[in-house]
Amino acid sequence: MASGEDTMSENKRRMLRGELYHAFAPELVAERRRCAAACARFNDAGDVSRRRRLELWNE
């Protein structure tokens, strides 16, 4: 099984190291979209339990 670093793009490795990188690499764009969707679900959840908020975050 490959580790997370083996499958990570060079742009993401550069970003994590604080170096210059291409911000519009497909992997990074997809991750930002997933994050935005998770934030929206979390923030729009209303009055739900902490457990449900975690479930929404991880979907």
Q: Is the pLDDT of residue 28 over 50?
A: yes
Nearest to 11 by CA among 24, 36, 32, 30: 24
- From residue 54, alpha-carbon distances to 8, 31, 49, 50 in Å are 25, 18, 9, 6
Confidence label for 15 from pLDDT (cuts 50, 70 and 90): very high
pLDDT digits (tens, 9 = 90+) for 34-55: 999 988 888 888 888 988 888 8
Domain extents in the chain:
23-59
At residue 1, the pLDDT reads: 41
- Where does 1-59 have alpha helices with state H? 4-7, 10-17, 26-43, 50-58
Q: Is the pLDDT of residue 22 over 90?
A: yes
More confident residue, 4 or 48: 48
Nearest to 7 by CA among 31, 33, 37, 32: 31
Q: Is the pLDDT of residue 58 over 90?
A: no
